[in-house]
């Protein structure tokens, strides 16, 4: 079953009763089975949620995301006991060899570049060299083919003059929101597979508590890029509004593919995270990334 993503943008009181999440706003009351909720996104400073409601959500492995004053996801509650052999898996992850992590990062960058190339061809209707660039990625991406591909990708993706920046002008705000949702979903999947988000295979910033999520989400970023491109064609609005945020949240239900098998992105991330766990334990040699288009 596809889990639901709930967005709270109005002043609300959130409680729980009989395993239902009860949401009370000025104009309506609603109740939703907690087991059906994948993510609860709280984007209003006067939202009140009870501790029992939070605990039930966390025990259900639902991600609870808080947004900041500019309406971007800013933090998330995660279940700290989401896997039955978590300590053992942490040990495998901590002891992973440098060659293994370099090989996994090589594969991750290759998949990202391939997906960027496919999306760019769909948008520009022109062939590109991203498949070739992907084949040139070395172990650990020591030649930074990720950066080479990104430079060409962003110059070609939007109108000339666009610069991809974390705090840049529109449509960076749309991209940032989408990436934050993707990052949260990836972190939730990794945590559910008994992995420690703090220990990345490539990202190593000491201030980054979600380094592994930042690694594993990379091949899935073009899903957000595609959504933002379509939003720009659909709306003249340059600020995040309810409709735009809802569309970006819906990337979690977007269909992706494992060979001929269809899967919503939220489920695909769980399969990807599980395969990474198996790489750490020696069962697999490669991460199982979904195809974004079939």
Q: Which residue ranges are tagged as binding site?
A: 146, 203, 218
171 upstream amide cis, omega within 30 of 0: yes
Alpha-carbon distance 11 to 269, whole Å?
Answer: 32
Q: What share of the chain is helix, strand, coil (3-state, %, to 5)?
A: 50, 15, 35
Two structure tokens written together for 256: 């992706």
Element (H, E) at 16: strand 12-17
Q: Which residues pair with 291 in a beta bridge?
A: 257
Contact yes or no for 192/205 (Cβ under 8 A): no
Annotated binding site for Mn(2+): 146, 203, 218
Q: Which of 65, 39, 57, 81 is nearest to 194 (CA)?
A: 81
Burial tier of 291 (Cβ tally within 10 Å: 0-12, 13-18, 19+): middle
Cα-Cα-Cα-Cα dihedral sign, residues 175, 178, 184, 187? negative
Contact yes or no for 221/179 (Cβ under 8 A): yes
- Residues ≥6 apart with Cβ < 8 Å to 44: 8, 9, 10, 11, 12
Two structure tokens written together for 233: 């064609």
């Amino acid at each position: 079953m596809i889990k639901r993503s709930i967005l709270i943008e109005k002043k609300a009181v959130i409680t729980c009763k009989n395993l239902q999440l009860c949401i009370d706003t000025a104009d309506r009351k609603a109740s939703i089975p907690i087991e059906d909720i994948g993510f609860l996104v709280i984007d209003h400073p006067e939202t009140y949620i009870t501790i029992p409601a939070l605990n039930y959500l966390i025990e259900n492995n639902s991600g609870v995301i808080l947004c900041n004053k500019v309406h971007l996801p800013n933090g998330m509650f995660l279940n700290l006991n989401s896997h039955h052999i978590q300590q053992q898996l942490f040990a495998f992850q901590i002891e992973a060899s440098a060659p293994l992590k370099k090989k996994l990062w090589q594969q991750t960058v290759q998949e990202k570049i391939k997906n960027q190339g496919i999306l760019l061809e769909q948008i520009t209707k022109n062939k590109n060299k991203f498949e070739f660039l992907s084949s040139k990625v070395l172990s650990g991406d020591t030649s930074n083919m990720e950066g080479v591909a990104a430079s060409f990708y962003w110059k070609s993706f939007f109108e000339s003059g666009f610069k991809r920046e974390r705090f840049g002008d529109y449509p960076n705000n749309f991209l940032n929101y989408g990436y934050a949702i993707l990052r949260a979903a990836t972190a939730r999947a990794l945590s559910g597979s008994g992995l420690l988000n703090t220990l990345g295979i490539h990202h190593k910033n000491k201030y980054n508590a979600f380094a592994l999520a930042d690694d594993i989400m990379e091949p899935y970023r073009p899903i957000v890029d595609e959504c933002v491109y379509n939003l720009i064609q659909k709306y003249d609005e340059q600020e995040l509004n309810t409709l735009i945020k809802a569309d970006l949240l819906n990337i979690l239900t977007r269909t992706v593919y494992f060979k001929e098998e269809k899967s919503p992105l939220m489920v695909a991330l769980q399969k990807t995270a599980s395969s990474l766990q198996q790489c750490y334990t020696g069962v697999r040699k490669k991460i199982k990334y979904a195809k974004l288009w079939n």
